[in-house]
Chain A
């Protein structure tokens, strides 16, 4: 019911933005009157090399000033936290974060398929009608970035260019307030080496307090700050050229973001839940709009053959219906069904597919394929919502 009502409301709100604010008060909840949504679009992205990526627009401003830049083609990622922008996409000069000695602070953040390296700078971040002020973010690469230290390149491949990243930036609207968290506050060998101080003499790993870390901007909004709702329409079998949906800020804070009948699945300290497939349960499962498919198990377990030209994806001859049960740490479960299609048979010009899946031995990564036709809530750690305190996923 809620799934039917929500798009209608959002659509109406999108057509008449001035009416997107409602002052109806639900007992026990804070209702803001800010435009708490913006469009997201699944397309080939700014490098024209992407599929199953949801892109949006972010406005960054010099803190406290009116000089701003709007950057499009930014990937919406519920699997990470914090805003990262390619230096090549940023024309606005933002203040550089420095340590107590005045040395610039530079970040190395490892993703699964590579790492981003570049300076930590500060901006006011505007999304829809929301604003987070003086937020540390990462500028990726650029001529101003120091040479990549070997401890950083040990994470794999650098994703420093538009071609490699496939996006002008990454908007991490995930489960956590900061990208690193308490681990990076410490000194010594327990520090995972995400933040570096880079004086002229060279870059060294530095301890970074929570407030100075790159921040998920959503939890710094004055209102609608407990999470995000990602909503993408269902796409037909065979996919679509593009798809357009909504990113709504806040959970249960306005009329357009109630949890409704969505089931709250809490996650462990690292942001994972578990998935049961057949008779086996697999820990280390997660929901991630920044993954471009449903990556799960292997051919031996699923019976699904990989593509002849790529081991990255499954290519069954005909559409294969699958089912699984996702379980939260709180014991709540959600039974889901999904299809696996033949990637090689899909239209090469299309960019939005619900049936794209691939192998991932021993684990489930519920990527963007899973998001189509669903309303997926990501609640931020420590933030109160109508469904309890984050972090959790709900759908």
Chain B
């Protein structure tokens, strides 16, 4: 196949689209591995490292505001888990992607008389979110149970 300037231009355009498209289009959790880069660009962050195991690839980035975000990509290129820690929350709308609305809704229903005010534990069939911390120190993780690769311990998502 002959590379034409037009094809090259089209490829560049696609790349630009990936980098600068509205973040929701490249939502992280449950999204494609392209969303990892979108997240990094959105956070104006720096890619710190990529760790590959047999079961997944871990992309670790540091946001400009100093929060570490780790995204776990399975063999089919889907982000199945995210974890974070740092002085400020990451942009949860960006990091949770299409699951953010579900997260907000779950936080709403958690407002019962005897609710936890100290640790967040959302344990739904389609989304698990666990968070702890206080202003200047937050950490947490979120994953989609159905997307977890076989044999991956939850202890490794942190």
Binding site for B on A (CB under 8 A): 49, 51, 53, 79-81, 109-114, 150-151, 153-157, 163-164, 166, 174, 176, 179-181, 183, 188-194, 270-272, 284, 286, 288, 290-293, 295, 310-313, 343, 358-363, 365, 367
Q: 1/0 per residue B77-112: CB within 8 Å of A?
A: 000000001011101111000001001100110111
Pick the contact of A111 from B94, B110, B134 — CB < 8 Å?
Answer: B134
Q: Bound state CA distance, A80 and B138, in angstroms? A: 12
Q: Bound state CA distance, A188 and B63, in angstroms? A: 12
Closest A residue by C-beta to B136: A270
CB of B74 within 8 A of chain A? no
Q: List 10 A-B contacts (CB under 8 A).
A: A113-B107, A156-B92, A176-B136, A180-B135, A189-B43, A292-B116, A292-B117, A358-B121, A360-B118, A365-B118
Pick the contact of A181 from B92, B108, B136, B138 — CB < 8 Å?
Answer: B136
Closest B residue by C-beta to A82: B135
Name the distance in Å between B132's Cβ and chain A's nearest Cβ: 5
Given contact pairs A110-B88, A359-B121, A80 touches B64 in the complex (Cβ within 8 A): no
A53, B117: Cβ atoms under 8 Å? yes
Residues from chain B with a CB closer than 8 A to the CB of A312 are 110, 114-116, 119, 121
Count of interface residues, chain B, beta-carbon cutoff 8 Å: 44
Name the distance in Å between A148's Cβ and chain B's nearest Cβ: 12
Q: Which of A51, A164, A272, A312 has the most CB of B within 10 A?
A: A312
Would you list which residues of chain B between 17 and 75 have a CB under 8 Å from chain A? 43-44, 64-66
Chain A binding site: helix, strand, loop or mixed by DSSP? loop
Residues from chain B with a CB closer than 8 A to the CB of A292 are 116-118
B107, A114: Cβ atoms under 8 Å? yes
A112, B118: Cβ atoms under 8 Å? yes
B107, A112: Cβ atoms under 8 Å? no
A112, B133: Cβ atoms under 8 Å? yes
A190, B65: Cβ atoms under 8 Å? yes
Residues from chain A with a CB closer than 8 A to the CB of B132 are 112, 284, 295, 360, 363, 365
B64, A291: Cβ atoms under 8 Å? no
A271, B134: Cβ atoms under 8 Å? yes
Binding site for A on B (CB under 8 A): 43-44, 64-66, 85, 87-89, 91-94, 100, 103-104, 107-108, 110-121, 123, 130-139, 141, 154, 158
B137, A112: Cβ atoms under 8 Å? no
Q: Which of B92, B130, B133 has the most CB of A within 10 A?
A: B133
A286, B134: Cβ atoms under 8 Å? yes
Pick the contact of A157 from B89, B104, B130, B138 — CB < 8 Å?
Answer: B104
Q: Which of B88, B107, B117, B121 has the most CB of A within 10 A?
A: B117
Name the distance in Å between A361's Cβ and chain B's nearest Cβ: 5
Residues from chain B with a CB closer than 8 A to the CB of A359 are 119, 121
Given contact pairs A164-B111, A191-B65, A192-B87, A286 touches B137 in the complex (Cβ within 8 A): yes
B87, A155: Cβ atoms under 8 Å? no
Name the distance in Å between A83's Cβ and chain B's nearest Cβ: 14
B121, A293: Cβ atoms under 8 Å? no
Residues from chain B with a CB closer than 8 A to the CB of A193 are 65, 88
Pick the contact of A293 from B43, B66, B92, B118 — CB < 8 Å?
Answer: B118
Q: Bound state CA distance, A32 and B87, in angstroms? A: 35
B134, A288: Cβ atoms under 8 Å? yes
Q: Which of B94, B114, B119 has the most CB of A within 10 A?
A: B119
A284, B85: Cβ atoms under 8 Å? yes
Given contact pairs A79-B135, A80-B134, A110-B88, A295 touches B119 in the complex (Cβ within 8 A): yes
Name the distance in Å between B73's Cβ and chain A's nearest Cβ: 22
Closest A residue by C-beta to B118: A291
Residues from chain B with a CB closer than 8 A to the CB of A286 are 133-134, 137
Pick the contact of B121 from A81, A109, A271, A311 — CB < 8 Å?
Answer: A311
Closest B residue by C-beta to A150: B93
Name the distance in Å between A294's Cβ and chain B's nearest Cβ: 8
Residues from chain A with a CB closer than 8 A to the CB of B66 are 183, 190, 192
Known: A112-B133, A180-B135, A312-B110. 17 other contacts (CB 8 A): A80-B135, A157-B107, A164-B111, A189-B44, A192-B87, A270-B87, A271-B136, A272-B137, A284-B85, A284-B139, A291-B117, A292-B117, A293-B118, A360-B119, A362-B139, A363-B133, A365-B133
Name the distance in Å between B39's Cβ and chain A's nearest Cβ: 13
Given contact pairs A114-B107, A190-B66, A361-B130, A288 touches B137 in the complex (Cβ within 8 A): no
Name the distance in Å between A6's Cβ and chain B's nearest Cβ: 26
Given contact pairs A154-B93, A360-B132, A365 touches B104 in the complex (Cβ within 8 A): no
A156, B119: Cβ atoms under 8 Å? no
